[in-house]
A = this chain, B = another copy of it.
Amino acid sequence: MDIGADRDESHSPTVAQVGEFGVIDRSTRGRIQSSHTILGPGDDAAVVAAADGRVVATTDMLVEGRHFRLDWSSPIDVGRKAVAQNGADISAMGARCTGFLVALGCPASTSVEVTDGLSEGFWREAQRAGASIIGGDLVQSEELVISITALGDLEGRPPVLRSGARPGDVVAVFGHLGWSAAGLAVLEAGRSGHAALVDAHRVPAPEYEQGVSAALAGATSLTDVSDGLVADLGHIAQASSVSVDLNSDLLDTGSEIVSAATDLGVSVLSWVLGGGEDHAFAATFPRTARIPDGWTVVGHVSGPSGAPMVTVDGEPFSGPAGWSSFDGSTE
């Protein structure tokens, strides 16, 4: 479905005109459920396989103006991002995604072009994660609100918690760090260019299978980087009662982000260490583990001497403390 083709005509009907059941029909018609789905949308509830007798579950809510802007991102991008940030949380337990539920609140005046685009984005990203949209709800609200629940399968393995890091472990990361924050800064500054960073902000693209790879390699702790590397490693340090030291020389800053930092006069490390929403992964591994391909060792874990903390090159990190939902910012 290419909803972009209709965009210039502006003749798209509204959600009120099409009605609740019409919008739901447009979003489910012709969709093919994944092999995990035993019963898809259309009854009081869905049924999903949970082969090893357990299900992993997480939920995240996104609000227009705070978590996304439709003048910066297409509806498809927003739909993908909403599913991606939930799917990344499933991967961050060492699990595979098996299904997603979507609750959507929107004004009656919302164009079905927007709901069609969101739906297309939900589906595209759910399929990237190896799953599908198994159910949902559509209600009227003043602002556009998306709430996603992701389900996952541990395939017989124990979940990889935040609390398992041990002194002597190494810290490794997978994925671009700071790209989403850099892309947001480019958009906020009204700059052109830096497309890779802007794209990373619009649609994080978690490599979902890396959570399983980390689990299979013996990761002692694992999280996705949603609040910022230092903040998320802080959650691991706190839960594991350890401290983490990062070696800034080992962090891959890459030419894209250095170029944007120079352009905007910002410190690269403030993005790499403090920027959220990348949905990269951070894990700790025993020193003897074979670190999976594509992961980079960026630090080490030490024992509890005083309060658990995260340092960079042995010093406290003085940059942004990470994302918080009630800090007064608008994105």
Q: Which of A97-121 contact B (CB under 8 A)?
A: 99, 101-105, 108
A87 to chain B, nearest CB (A): 10
Query: Which residues of B have CB within 8 Å of A21?
Result: 324
Query: Which residues of B have CB within 8 Å of A15?
Result: 326
A215 to chain B, nearest CB (A): 12
Query: Which residues of B have CB within 8 Å of A147?
Result: 59, 61, 103, 137, 145, 147
Query: Which residues of B have CB within 8 Å of A19?
Result: 324, 326
Q: What 1/0 flags go to A138-154 for Cβ under 8 Å of B?
A: 11111101010111101
Q: Given A20-B325, A57-B48, A67 and B137 touching (CB < 8 A)?
A: no
A131 to chain B, nearest CB (A): 12
Q: Given A66-B140, A143-B143, A154 and B47 touching (CB < 8 A)?
A: yes
Query: Is residue A328 within 8 Å, beta carbon to beta carbon, of the partner chain?
Result: yes
The closest CB in chain B to the CB of A142 belongs to B143
Query: Is residue A181 within 8 Å, beta carbon to beta carbon, of the partner chain?
Result: no
Query: Which residues of B have CB within 8 Å of A239?
Result: 42-43
A324–B67 CA distance with the chains assembled, in angstroms: 28
Query: Which residues of B have CB within 8 Å of A154?
Result: 47
Query: Is residue A224 within 8 Å, beta carbon to beta carbon, of the partner chain?
Result: yes
Query: Is residue A93 within 8 Å, beta carbon to beta carbon, of the partner chain?
Result: yes
Query: Is residue A32 within 8 Å, beta carbon to beta carbon, of the partner chain?
Result: no
Query: Which residues of B have CB within 8 Å of A51?
Result: 53
The closest CB in chain B to the CB of A159 belongs to B47
Q: Which of A228-243 contact B (CB under 8 A)?
A: 239
A85 to chain B, nearest CB (A): 10
B103 A63 Cβ-Cβ under 8 A: no
Identical subunits present = 2
Query: Is residue A260 within 8 Å, beta carbon to beta carbon, of the partner chain?
Result: no
A57 B325 Cβ-Cβ under 8 A: no
Query: Which residues of B have CB within 8 Å of A60?
Result: 103, 137
18 further interface pairs, Cβ-Cβ under 8 Å (given A51-B53, A101-B149): A20-B325, A39-B159, A43-B163, A45-B95, A45-B159, A47-B159, A49-B54, A52-B53, A53-B53, A57-B101, A58-B135, A61-B139, A63-B139, A67-B139, A137-B147, A141-B143, A142-B142, A143-B143
- Show 28 A/B contacts (Cβ-Cβ < 8 Å), sorted by A: A15-B326, A16-B328, A19-B326, A44-B89, A44-B222, A44-B223, A45-B57, A45-B92, A45-B95, A47-B54, A47-B55, A49-B54, A55-B55, A55-B151, A58-B135, A59-B103, A59-B136, A61-B139, A63-B139, A63-B141, A63-B142, A137-B147, A138-B325, A140-B325, A141-B143, A141-B145, A143-B143, A145-B145
